[in-house]
Chain A
C-alpha cells in the first residue's frame, strides 16, 4: 500500500510517454480506458501514426521499380526500415531481413521453404510445450507432408522449459528446434542462447519466435547465432500487417523462394524464371510499403526509451501487479517462471475467465481471456483458459490498482 509511481524504479517519464499514445486517452463504458492487452497488440505512438499519414499524404509510390521522385523516396524509406531492423535485432547483414506480414507468416515461410527442402521421413522437429499455435501448426503441416516427427520439450508447472529434457531429446535426427523466446500465455523467458548452442552441437537449425520478446528484451540474433528469428510489428508499437523474418544469409541463399510474382524474380522467360537476390527473393509482389516504413519510428521509439529502462519499469509493474492481486481470495497465478516478461495470467477456480473479462470490460479494463492460442499448453496445465494482464511501457500502477478494484467488484458479483 502507499506505493506511488515515483517509487517505482525507472528512468522514464511515463506521463509524457502516455501523451504519445492518443488511443489511451478515452473513456470505455464511461470509465477511463485501462489497456492491459499488450501481449495481443500494443498501442501506437504518434510517430508511427504520423509516419503512416505522411507516407500516404506525400510519398505514396510503388517501390524498387519507379524512376520518379516519389518512388525513390518511398524506396529509400522502405529500405531504411530494413537497416533499422538489422540494428535493432543485432543482425550482421541487411539482406538477412525479410519483411513479412507478421510472425505467423515468417514461421510458415521457413516451414514451407527451408522445411520442404531439408526435412525427410523420420527427421525430428523439437518444439516446446508452451508454443503458440502459430509455432506449432506450420510444423505439423510440413511434418505430415514429409513424414517428419514433432517432439515436445516439456515444461515444469511454473512454466519453465526443462533444459535437461531438451538435451535428452536432441539427437542426430533432430533437424530443427522451434522455440518461443517469451511465452504469450505465461510470460516465461526461455534461454534461447543456450538452446541454440545445444542444438548447433547436434547439427540442428533453430527458429526463435520473438513475437512476445522483441518489445521487452534485448535481441541479438548474431550473438546468439540464431538461424531464424521472427517477430511482428504490431506487438512492438508498430503497425499491423508487417513483420520480420531474420535468417542467416547462407540459409536464406540456399532456400527456394516462398511465393512467386513480381519483385522476387531475376529474369522471366516464357519457359521459366530465375529468382532475385536476397532479400527480394522472399518478398514477392508489392510489399506493405506504408506499414514497413512506419515500423522504423516504432523501433526508434523503443530505442530512444532504452530497452533496459523499459525492462526495469515493466518488471516493477509486474511485481506490483503480483503483490496487489496475490491477496485476492481464490486467485491462482499461471506462469511463475523466474525469468518473465510483463505478462501475468491467472485463474479463479470458481469464476470463469470469460465472465471476468466481461465485467472488467464494463469497468473500462481491457485484458485477454481464453486459451491464448495455446490449447496444448492449457491442457498441460489442466485449465481451459486464463485471464491475462500484459503490461507495456505506458501502463501505470494506478491502472493496476484499477485492475485490482475491477477484479474485486467481479468477485463480489459472482460469489
Chain B
C-alpha cells in the first residue's frame, strides 16, 4: 500500500501503452466500467449526482482515518470506465494530496477529449467534484 497518486498514474500510462488502436483502448475502458463495483442505491441521490448534459454520474465520498474514499456509478459505460480510472488514481489518499494532484495521465492515455466542454459529464466535472469533496474534507480536518 501507500502507492502515491503519481505512481498509480504511471502504472495506468504503462497499461495503456500496449494499445496501438482506439478500439482496444475503449474496449479496456469499457471493461474497467463493467468491473467498477456498483454504487449502493442509497448513495444514488440527487446530491451525489454530478451535473451534466448526457449521462448520469453519481459520486459518493467518505473520509476515514485521514483518507478519502470515492465510490461512483454512471448509466453510461464509457463514463463509468473513465470514472473507475479516476477512482483508481485518487481514492484512498489524503485529502491534501488529492487537492494538490495533477492528473497528467488523462492526456497521456489520449482521453483528453473527454475533458472538453461538450462532454461536460465526462472527466472534467467528475474530477472537479472529486477535488471539491476532498477540499471540503481538508477544511474539516483543519477545523478539527
Nearest B residue (CB) for A358: B78
Residues facing A in B52-77 (CB within 8 A) are 53-56, 75-77
A414 at interface, CB cutoff 8 A: yes
Interface size on B, residues (CB 8 A): 15
Q: Using a CB–CB distance below 8 Å, which chain B residues touch chain A?
A: 22-23, 26-27, 30, 53-56, 75-79, 121
A362 in complex: contacting residue of B26, B75, B79, CB < 8 Å: B26
A29 in complex: contacting residue of B22, B53, B54, CB < 8 Å: B22
Q: Is B78 a contact of A362 with CB atoms below 8 Å?
A: no
> What CA separation (Å) do A362 and B113 show in the bound complex?
11
Interface size on A, residues (CB 8 A): 17
> What CA separation (Å) do A29 and B53 show in the bound complex?
24
Beyond A352-B75, A354-B121, A355-B77, is A370–B54 a contact (Cβ under 8 Å)?
A: yes
> What CA separation (Å) do A351 and B34 show in the bound complex?
12
A144: min CB distance to chain B, Å: 24
Beyond A369-B54, A370-B53, A413-B30, is A354–B76 a contact (Cβ under 8 Å)?
A: yes
B55: min CB distance to chain A, Å: 5
A235 at interface, CB cutoff 8 A: no
When A and B form their complex, which 4 residue pairs have the shortest distance between CB atoms, in order from nearest? A352-B76, A354-B54, A354-B76, A354-B55
Chain B CB within 10 A, most for which of A362, A385, A409: A362
Which A residues lie within 8 Å of B22 (CB)?
29, 362
Residues facing B in A337-376 (CB within 8 A) are 351-355, 357-359, 362, 369-370
A384 at interface, CB cutoff 8 A: yes
Interface contacts beyond A352-B76, A355-B79, A359-B26: sample of 16 additional A-B pairs, CB < 8 Å, sorted by A: A352-B77, A354-B78, A354-B79, A355-B76, A355-B77, A355-B78, A357-B54, A362-B26, A370-B53, A370-B54, A384-B56, A385-B54, A409-B23, A413-B23, A413-B27, A413-B30
Beyond A354-B121, A362-B22, is A414–B77 a contact (Cβ under 8 Å)?
A: yes
Which B residues lie within 8 Å of A355 (CB)?
76-79
- Interface residues as binary, A403-415 with B (CB distance below 8 Å gives 1, 0 otherwise): 0000001000110
State the main secondary structure of chain A at its contact with B: helix
Nearest B residue (CB) for A350: B77
Some 8 contacts from A to B, beta carbons below 8 A apart, are: A354-B78, A354-B121, A358-B78, A362-B26, A370-B53, A413-B26, A413-B30, A414-B30
Which A residues lie within 8 Å of B75 (CB)?
352, 384
Which B residues lie within 8 Å of A359 (CB)?
26
B15: min CB distance to chain A, Å: 18
Which A residues lie within 8 Å of B77 (CB)?
351-352, 355, 414
Nearest A residue (CB) for B33: A355
> What CA separation (Å) do A357 and B26 show in the bound complex?
13
> What CA separation (Å) do A132 and B62 show in the bound complex?
40
A352 in complex: contacting residue of B23, B26, B55, CB < 8 Å: B55
> What CA separation (Å) do A29 and B22 show in the bound complex?
10
A224: min CB distance to chain B, Å: 35
Which A residues lie within 8 Å of B27 (CB)?
413
> What CA separation (Å) do A351 and B30 show in the bound complex?
12
> What CA separation (Å) do A13 and B143 show in the bound complex?
73
Which B residues lie within 8 Å of A354 (CB)?
54-55, 76, 78-79, 121
> What CA separation (Å) do A409 and B27 show in the bound complex?
11
> What CA separation (Å) do A355 and B23 show in the bound complex?
13
Chain B CB within 10 A, most for which of A29, A353, A370, A414: A414
Which B residues lie within 8 Å of A357 (CB)?
54
Which A residues lie within 8 Å of B79 (CB)?
354-355
B54 in complex: contacting residue of A351, A353, A413, CB < 8 Å: A353
Which B residues lie within 8 Å of A369 (CB)?
54
> What CA separation (Å) do A413 and B26 show in the bound complex?
8
B122: min CB distance to chain A, Å: 9
> What CA separation (Å) do A29 and B56 show in the bound complex?
27
> What CA separation (Å) do A351 and B56 show in the bound complex?
13
> What CA separation (Å) do A358 and B77 show in the bound complex?
11
B79: min CB distance to chain A, Å: 7
Which A residues lie within 8 Å of B23 (CB)?
409, 413
> What CA separation (Å) do A359 and B56 show in the bound complex?
18
> What CA separation (Å) do A352 and B30 show in the bound complex?
12
A348: min CB distance to chain B, Å: 12
Nearest B residue (CB) for A30: B22
